[in-house]
Each structure stands twice: as C-alpha cells, then as structure tokens.
Amino acid sequence: MRSWQRMFVAVMRLLLKCLRLGRRRRFKLLRQVEQLWHYGNLCLRSLLYNSFTNGDVVLDSLFEPIYWLVDHVTRWFGVVFVALVIGLTSSIVAIVYICLLPLILQTYTPAWICWHLAYGHWNLIMIVFHYYMAITTSPGHPPQAKDDLSGVSICRKCIAPKPARTHHCSICNRCVLKMDHHCPWLNNCVGHYNHRYFFSFCLFMTMGCIYCSVSGWEMFRDAYAAIERMKLLEKERLQVAANQTYYQTPPPTFSFHQRAFHKSVVYLWVLCSSVALALGALTLWHAALITRGETSIERHINKKERQRLQKKGKVFRNPYSYGGWDNWKVFLGVDVPRHWLTRVLLPSPHLPHGTGLSWDLPPCVTEQRTPLLAI
C-alpha cells in the first residue's frame, strides 16, 4: 500500500513539473509575440510618421478609393445627365405645344392667351440660353506658368498657381477660379465665368416648373379623374366580356388619343411639381450664398474660420462680401439701372466683374467693406 502511494505521489510531482514548464514556455512565447507586435508597430509609425496626421487625414485616406470611383463615375455620366435634362425638358415642351396650347387657344380669353404665349416663350428662351451657356462656358482656370502670378499659393495636386477663391476639382482634374461645385447636370464645373448662367438656369427652370404646375392644376385634376374612370370602365368591360350574351354590348372605351392626352397631362404636372420643389430648394440655397458673398466651398471654410476666431474673441468678416444688395449687383453684373432689363431679364452673355485672379473693388460697390478680421 505504501509503495503504491509513493508511486502515485511521484507521478503527480512529475505531472506538476511538466505543467509548470509548459506554463513558463507559454508565457515566454506570449512575451515574445507582444515584443514583436510593439516592435512592428514602432517601425510602422516611424515610416509613416507625420506631425499633421489626425483622424480626418486617416479617414480621407481610407475613403480615397471611394472618392476616386465617384469622381470617375460622375465624369463619365455627365453626358448622360445632360442628355436627361434635354430629354425631359423637350418632352414637357412637346406636351405643352401638342396637348395644352390648342386647348388654351380654344378656351381662354384673348388677354390670357397673350399672357401665356408671352410669358411661356420668354421663360423657355431664358432656360435654353442659360443652360447652353452654363454647359459650354469654361468656369475659368488659373495660368499654369508660375511667373504670371506672384504672392499666391501652389496647388498640391496640379502643382500650379492657386489664386484666392480657387480650388482644385478632382473630377475635371484642374483648378477652377472661384469654384462653387462640380455639377453633373451640366457636365461642367460652376466657377467664375459660368456661375451666373448656372444660377439663372436654376431660377428660370424653377419659375417655368411652377408656372406649368399652377397653370395645369385644373387640367391635372380632370386628367387624373379621367384616368381613374378609364380603369373602372376597363374593369367593367372585362367583367361584361366574361359574362356577355348576344344582347349585351360592352361599355364605351376611351380612344388612344384620349388616353395619351390625359396621361401626358399627369406626367407634365408630376414632373414639373417635383422639379419645382427640388430645384427650388437648391435655388434658394444658392441665393442665400450669393447674398452672403460666398460659394458652396467657401461656406464651409468660413464657418470653420468663424468658429476658430470666435474662440479667440474675434469676429470673422468675409472680405468678398459687400453687403446683400451689392453682392447681387456684383454677381449679376449690374452697373447701371438699365442693366436689370438688358442683363437680368433678357439673355446677356456679359462677363462677370474681374478676372478671377484678383478681387478688386467692383465699380458698382459704393463703399469699402470691413477688413477680414476685426477684434
């Protein structure tokens, strides 16, 4: 009995020694892995160290492939978007001429006929002119030679002079003077030389859609009710055809012309109302930016700068803002009162103030504004 106990105790001691040895080896292996991890992390940090690196830079780097994909898709689909705008606008114009204009000439009074003809054609001319100018006019690009400009920064992407209010467009792969944004519906950047055309197109397109929606409201209600009657009569006709006898006749059906007319009116009203809401909101947004003398990009930059200076007890002043009314005069190119007619209410290809390289005080501004920073 004692020999068996001694043998058992000897086996247990040997097992405990083996366990201790395995535990030591396991801890030693974990320490080696941890040391290798810290060493590799240190090497990676030493190779990629940048004092300007922060969370925003890391996120931008991670999303760079997505940005590249979006930029290239937008570049190639710009032609499709332009064709879509032309196609939808042409369809609305065709419906108005084919379906609505004969009805207007038959039912409206001469005064209302003159009003619709005059306003409708004026609005259409303004839409076509400003859209054509917006997509064909270059937004403006700074010169590539570094000797042409002095005292300006250099774009880190295209390694070219970057004057004030100039930003690099990743889709066009060029710097744009007074860049607002890249518009896929124009397949072009909105910048210094075509910003007015873009805003005018948005404004007159919104006005045209509101005009069609308001003028065609009664026609839309009648057409929608007629389509519902079509569906009901079609259902009744199918039921009668299933139980038809020799003395029963199916109810009358609408002709193809009537169906096409009613569906065209519904299509016109729904499309114009949707565009009026969406494009109207965009137009109001850009109108607010123009009133403040900012672009879409400058709005975000000025907001951050305003918050930074507010923490220091300073007030930010936009150096390119001359007051709400003067900002509109500068944007529209109104120097004298008659320009409100010849340059705003009528098609005009006049150039904006300045070259986009420097920002001197426009002649239509009567007083100098406050400087950039004010305590």
Give catalytic residues, as residue numbers.
183
294: its two tokens: 């900012």
- 2: which 2 tokens? 């004692």
Helices (H), 99-158: 101-107, 110-136
Q: Count Cα atoms within 13 angstroms, Cβ side, for 64.
A: 6
Pairing of strands 188-190, 181-183: antiparallel
- Rounded distance, CA 252 to CA 24, Å? 96
End-to-end Cα distance, the chain: 99
Give the single-character DSSP code of 346: S
Burial class (CB in 10 A: 0-12, 13-18, 19+), 185: middle
**DSSP label of 335:** -
Pair of tokens at residue 206: 């919104």
Q: Which residues contact 201 (CB under 8 A, 6 or more apart)?
A: 127, 130, 131, 134
Cα angle 64, 67, 69 (rounded to 5 degrees) comes to 110
Tracing tokens 């065209």 back to the chain, one arrives at: 264
